[in-house]
Amino acid sequence: MNTNNMENKKVWFITGASKGLGLALAKQLLQIGHQVVATSRNSTSLINAINFKGEAFLPLQVDLSSDQDVAAAIRQAHQTFGQIDVVVNNAGYGIGGSIEELTDKETRDSFDINVFGTINVIRHALPILRAQASGHIINISSIAGIAPAIGWSVYGAAKHAIIGLSEVLADEVKELGIKVTVIAPGAFRTNFLQTDSLVLSERKIDAYANIRASHERYTQMNGHQAGDPEKAAKAMIELAEMPEPPVYLLLGSDAYARAFSKLELLASSYKQWEALTKSTDY
């Protein structure tokens, strides 16, 4: 291990670390000598997936929708390592279906993990980061939070929420020495499109044939996604080393293309209705 890594040794708190980008990140960090607190719904699968023996790794079983569970996890992380340098809100899952097809429970469960879980972690981590006058919060949204696709309205809404709260949070904590980045990844070759990371509405309404077709396109992509999770993890580690990290970071050439077509769509749409927009002024 080189001395540079030892000098920059950080304590990372990562949610949803038993698979996907969270797993790739946790493994790389431990390999290069950082300390990692990793959470998952199931600590056994987390320990097996990360497969690291040593005191630098603290695996925790946490229900992110429980404010008490999250508070206890943050407290344990701080007591174990004495500080928290980087918080990565990575836990989340995809939810597909029209608004009409998805039940209230399916929708709320999705927001509990994708949105409220992130908010709970931030709320409990902030007092520690404030006391340190340092730290970096990295929230994983999705390109769906910028340019959602048909059949993913609730997922798009949840990921939009992560972008909205991150933008404001970045301004609120800047003077406190805390940095915030929201990452919008495109499609990565993880198990995100498998049943343990993806919920499709139980109810299917025949009228929504376009939604079924959209879901099929996405599930057929499994194993052929453009993004490499190992390279995404490397980019996140690089991000945490930056003295002035960006507030927004797209990951993947597909995310880049989708974000820019959305940008153009917004610009032309706003412009097109300029007269009507301004007609409401006193």
Q: Which amino acid is at 21?
A: L
48 pLDDT higher than 50: yes
Pair of tokens at residue 52: 């690291």
Tell me whether residue 7 is exposed, middle or buried, using C-beta atoms within 10 angstroms of its C-beta: 0 to 12, 13 to 18, 19 or more: exposed
Secondary structure (3-state) at 282: coil
Residue 3: per-residue pLDDT: 39
Q: Do 23 and 50 meet the contact criterion of CB atoms below 8 Å apart?
A: yes
State the Cα–Cα distance between residues 147 and 131, nearest whole angstrom. 37
Residue of 110, 141, 153, 166 marked active site: 141
Residue of 19, 153, 155, 201 marked active site: 155
Tens digits of residue pLDDT in 115-167: 999 999 999 999 999 999 999 999 999 999 999 999 999 999 999 999 999 99
141 is catalytic: yes
Pair of tokens at residue 55: 């005191």
Residue 4: per-residue pLDDT: 45
* 5-14, 25-34, 203-212: range with lowest mean pLDDT: 5-14
User: Domain-by-domain residue ranges, the chain?
Assistant: 3-271
Better pLDDT: 216 or 176: 176
With the CA atoms of 73, 79, 80 and 85 taken in that order, what torsion angle do they form, in degrees rounded to the nearest 10?
80
Return the percentage of the chain with pLDDT > 90, whole number: 80
> pLDDT band at 110, cuts 50/70/90?
very high
166 is catalytic: no
State the Cα–Cα distance between residues 95 and 186, nearest whole angstrom. 16
Residue of 159, 179, 201, 208 marked active site: 159
Helix axes 67-81, 117-132, angle to 10 degrees: 30
β-strand 86-89 against 94-96: which pairing, if any? Answer: unpaired
218 is catalytic: no
Tens digits of residue pLDDT in 229-276: 899 999 999 999 999 999 999 999 999 999 999 999 999 999 999 999
**Is CATH 3.40.50.300 what the domain over 3-271 is classified as, yes or no?**
no
188 pLDDT higher than 70: no
Q: Do 61 and 82 meet the contact criterion of CB atoms below 8 Å apart?
A: no
